[in-house]
Structures are given as structure tokens and as C-alpha cells.
């Protein structure tokens, strides 16, 4: 593979070319030349356009590929194609499978199925055996097999003692845990955010308190045990305040937000479209404003797709019976820059590329000569409209079909492969 990226502004704080507009020559998967302008007689393939940016390849910290067990919703190959179309050269695969990723064999299955692909896969093993919230999973064996962290995905752990043991054990093996925040004794059977809209629609609400209590509890456990914890999809103003305080106190706490929770608020549910039913739910306008401010100032570290495929049997139902989830890999970037058009390209690259790698403890894929090419090229000014035919996922549960959104993924390079959507 030989390719030239023409006149793209480099966004990479670890690169000597950060902030500069350059041409980048990639040969056999390696960056061989970076200059203000590269002239060559060779017939290289080119990526070019107006207002281009290039960053380290984007890495999504939360996606469910449903494989093994629910391959009719998604499999690893369709999930990887969705990631590539969304601009991601890496993706953390969560444990929402059957069986869940709770032992060495399951981690190895995912890695073997995903090898030799443009998109790198980072499996997340479960915290508890079979995601039952009772006993610790085989964390050490999974880490040796390739698990980068541990999470029970959308199942919040009710047992505080189990969270404590997981934090203690994970730090002993040089890893960390990711915990969904939802106190089911408070949110039980809730359908959407509790507030004015839920009252008007007659739907049972999920109080912000259900998320905030769980975050507060887990932060206090972290303060006692030490270690590192990541909250993948916070959604309320109170959660932002708790994360901010924990960071100020020197705790190893990081946080993410689902891209759709930045763009949408709970008024989107007024037509009872089940494609807007997600977990955590779309919150109030006040919560969304607080989330956006927290993303601007760095209290929230990363933006995730929270990609969760659901087939028509799970979505084409009465609202209270439908499952939660949106396929988000192809629209995460667009949701972010549509919701926050003034965020700036540098902060976009930080949220999607650099911060995820820091959280996982990975070395940066610096944009410099001699480095392996792991790059995402994108534009802020172009528009993207997702059509049903363009969806790579086996599932189609997204409310964004046919809706023009800001931003366009122009191309990506990784593992000596190139993809131009």
C-alpha cells in the first residue's frame, strides 16, 4: 500500500508536526515522508480535499459486536466494517455476548476472529463470572489472553464488595475496571429519563439519582482500595460534578459519554420512536448542557459510540417492551460535531484518538516518519447523510437515517490497509 495524504493539518500532541498542514507519504504501512509538499513521479493513490485534518486513528472504548451468540444482530466482521466506516481504526469489544467474554477462550475467540483486519480489536473481559455479579471472573487469565480491561457492560454491579475486590485484583495485575452506573432498585422498569417529558408522555422515568448514587458509591470504594476506574457513559449534571470532584481529589477516575447523549435530549422521545430508547437514557436539556461543558473542559475524557445492535424483533415493539440501544459506530463522530460545532478539531482528536489510548495504557501512534501508519483523516466542514444502504451493521436501529449531520470521515489507514468510505 502506497498512499499520499495531501494538505492535512496534523492533530497529534505527540507529533513534531502537530498543528502543521503537510503532505504525508505512507508506503507499506509505514509513514516514510512528511513535508509541506511532496512531489513524486510515482502514481500513488491520494487522499485529498478541502479542510482536511489527520489524527492518530480513532479508538472507540465501548461497542457491542454480539458475537458469539447473537450473530443475527451483529458479528465481528460486520462490526469491524461499521467501525471503519465511522473512522475508527480500533474498537473495544464489550461482553454483551452469549456466553459473555468471561474466560480466556472467549477472549481468544474474539481476537482470532478479528485478526488481519484494518480495525484493531481490544476485548473487554467481564468483571464477574457469566456477568452474574457474584464471583470474580478469570481476570488474570483473560489479561494474559489479551483483555485490556474488565466490565460487565450494561449490567451494573449491585454487590459493593465485588466492586472492591475487582478494583483490588485489577490493580494487582496492572489493569482496571469499567463500570456501568445504574442502581436498578431505583431505575427498575424505567423507560426514559424522569422529568417533565416522561410525565407528559406517561412513561415511567429513570431518575438521575440511579446513575449518580452508583457513581458516588464506586468512587468511595475506589478511594478506599486504590486502583483505576472508568465510567463509560455518564449522562447527568450530577455525575459530571462527582467525576470532577474525584479527579480534583487525585483519584484515578476517567469518564466517557455516548455520542447520542451529547446530541439529543429526552424531548426526542415525544413520538415514541424506540430507536431513541437507550441506556443511559436521553436526559434533560440541562443535563445535556452540563455534559457538553464537561467535554469542553476535560472533565469527560472520551466520546464513545456505545454501539449496541438490536434487530427488528427487539425494536419494532411497544415502547415499554422494546430493548434499549443504538448502532453508533458510523454516526458517533457526526453526532459529536453536530452537537458541538465549535468544539474544535483538536479537541475532537483528543476525545476520539488520544484519550482512549491513554486510558487503555497504550503507546501513542505518533504521526512522524518511520512510525506505523495508524491514521484517521476527516473534515469538519463537510456534511454526511447516512442512508440505509450505507449501514454496515446487520441491525438498523438508528434514528439518524436520512438526516444530514456535520463532519465527514475521509479515509483511514492501519495495518498496511486503507479504507475510504
Angle between helix axes 237-248 and 208-225 (nearest 10 degrees) is 10
**pLDDT (tens digit, 9 = 90+) per residue, 157-170?**
999 999 999 999 99
Distance in angstroms (rounded) separating the CA atoms of residues 88 and 377: 10
Per-residue model confidence as pLDDT tens digits over 255-301: 999 999 999 999 999 999 999 999 999 999 999 999 999 999 999 99
271 part of the active site: no
Prior bond to 256 cis, omega within 30?
Answer: no
CA distances from 201 to 133, 209, 229, 285, 314 (A): 34, 20, 36, 17, 21
Is the per-residue pLDDT at 421 higher than 90?
A: no
Please give the DSSP secondary-structure letter assigned to residue 155. Answer: -
Which of these is catalytic: 60, 273, 306, 316?
306
Length of the chain in residues, anyone?
A: 421
How confident is the prediction for the chain on average, in pLDDT? 97
pLDDT at 1 over 80: no
- Same-domain status, 294 and 383: no
Q: How many domains does the chain have?
A: 2
401 and 298 assigned to the same domain: no
Kind of pairing between the strands at 21-27 and 2-11: antiparallel
User: Treating both helix axes as pointing N-terminal to C-terminal, what angle do 208-225 and 160-172 enclose, rounded to 10 degrees?
Assistant: 50
Mark whether 68 and 18 lie in a shared domain: no
Q: Say yes or no: 331 and 408 in one domain.
A: no
8 Å CB contact between 243 and 234: yes
Task: State whether 36 and 184 are in the same domain.
Answer: no
Share of the chain above pLDDT 90, in %: 97
Residue for cell digits 516518519? 369
The set of residues, in sequence order, having a beta carbon less than 8 Å from that of 11 and lying 6+ positions away, is 18, 19, 53, 54, 55, 345, 346, 348, 349
Whole-number Å distance between alpha carbons of 168 and 176: 9
pLDDT tens across 341-396, in order?
A: 999 999 999 999 999 999 999 999 999 999 999 999 999 999 999 999 999 999 99
Half-sphere exposure of 367 (CA within 13 A, CB side): 32
Residues 203 and 77 in one domain: yes
Is 236 in the same domain as 287? yes
Provide φ and ψ at 35, rounded to 5°.
-145, 165
> Do 375 and 351 share a domain, yes or no?
no
Cell numbers representing residue 166 in the block? 475487582
Q: Which residues, at least 6 apart from 141, have a Cβ–Cβ distance to it below 8 Å? A: 103, 104
pLDDT of residue 42: 83
- Would the CA dihedral through 159, 70, 88, 192 be positive or negative? negative
- Cis peptide leading into 162, omega within 30 of 0? no
> pLDDT per residue over 93-134, tens digit each?
998 899 999 999 999 999 999 999 999 999 999 999 999 999
54: closest CA among 21, 101, 82?
A: 21
E strand or H helix at 302: strand 302-304
Residues 394 and 303 in one domain: no
- If asked whether residues 49 and 63 sit together in one domain, one would say no
Query: What's 314's domain CATH number?
Result: 3.20.20.140
Residues 336 and 283 reside in one and the same domain: yes
Summarize pLDDT for 40-74 with one digit per residue, the tens: 878 899 999 999 999 999 999 999 999 999 999 99
Model pLDDT, residue 175? 98
Note whether 98 and 153 are same-domain residues. yes
Which CATH number fits the domain that encloses residue 406?
Answer: 2.30.40.10
Domain extent, residue 46, equals: 2-53+369-419
Amino acid at each position: 500500500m502506497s498512499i499520499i495524504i495531501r494538505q492535512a493539518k496534523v492533530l497529534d500532541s505527540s507529533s513534531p508536526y502537530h498543528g502543521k498542514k503537510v503532505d504525508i507519504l505512507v508506503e507499506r504501512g509505514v509513514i516514510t515522508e512528511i513535508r509541506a509538499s511532496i512531489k513524486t513521479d510515482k502514481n500513488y493513490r491520494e487522499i485529498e480535499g478541502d479542510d482536511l485534518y489527520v489524527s492518530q486513528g480513532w479508538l472507540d472504548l465501548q461497542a457491542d459486536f454480539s458475537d458469539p451468540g447473537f450473530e443475527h444482530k451483529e458479528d465481528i466482521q460486520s462490526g469491524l466494517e461499521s467501525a471503519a466506516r465511522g473512522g475508527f481504526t480500533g474498537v473495544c469489544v464489550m461482553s454483551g455476548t452469549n456466553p459473555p467474554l468471561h474466560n480466556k477462550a472467549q477472549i481468544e475467540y474474539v481476537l482470532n476472529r478479528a485478526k488481519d483486519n484494518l480495525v484493531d480489536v481490544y476485548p473487554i473481559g467481564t468483571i464477574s463470572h457469566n456477568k452474574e455479579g457474584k464471583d470474580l471472573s478469570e481476570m488474570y487469565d483473560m489479561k494474559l489472553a489479551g483483555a485490556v480491561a474488565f466490565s460487565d457492560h450494561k449490567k451494573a454491579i449491585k454487590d459493593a464488595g465485588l466492586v472492591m475486590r475487582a478494583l483490588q485484583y485489577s490493580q494487582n495485575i496492572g489493569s482496571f475496571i469499567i463500570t456501568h452506573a445504574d442502581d436498578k432498585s431505583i431505575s427498575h422498569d424505567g423507560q426514559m429519563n424522569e422529568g417533565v417529558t416522561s410525565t407528559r408522555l406517561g412513561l415511567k422515568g429513570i431518575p438521575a439519582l440511579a446513575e449518580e448514587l452508583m457513581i458516588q458509591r464506586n468512587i468511595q470504594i475506589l478511594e478506599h482500595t486504590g486502583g483505576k476506574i472508568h465510567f463509560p457513559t455518564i449522562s447527568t449534571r450530577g455525575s459530571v460534578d462527582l467525576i470532577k470532584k474525584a479527579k480534583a481529589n487525585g483519584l484515578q477516575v476517567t469518564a466517557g459519554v455516548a455520542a447520542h447523549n451529547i446530541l439529543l435530549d429526552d424531548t426526542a422521545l415525544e413520538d415514541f420512536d424506540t430507536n431513541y430508547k437507550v441506556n443511559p437514557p436521553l436526559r434533560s436539556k440541562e443535563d445535556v448542557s452540563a455534559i457538553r461543558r464537561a467535554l469542553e473542559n476535560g472533565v469527560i475524557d472520551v466520546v464513545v459510540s456505545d454501539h449496541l445492535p438490536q434487530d427488528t424483533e427487539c425494536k419494532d415493539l411497544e415502547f415499554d417492551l422494546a430493548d434499549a440501544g443504538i448502532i453508533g459506530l458510523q454516526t458517533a463522530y457526526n453526532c459529536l460535531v453536530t452537537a458541538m460545532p465549535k468544539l474544535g478539531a483538536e479537541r475532537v482528536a483528543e476525545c476520539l484518538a488520544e484519550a482512549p489510548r491513554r486510558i487503555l495504557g497504550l503507546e501513542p501512534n505518533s504521526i512522524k516518519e518511520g512510525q506505523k501508519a495508524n491514521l484517521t483523516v476527516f473534515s469538519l466542514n463537510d456534511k454526511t447523510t447516512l442512508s440505509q444502504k450505507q449501514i454496515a451493521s446487520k441491525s438498523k436501529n438508528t434514528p439518524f437515517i436520512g438526516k444530514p449531520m456535520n463532519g465527514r470521515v475521509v479515509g483511514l489507514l492501519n495495518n498496511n490497509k486503507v479504507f475510504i468510505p
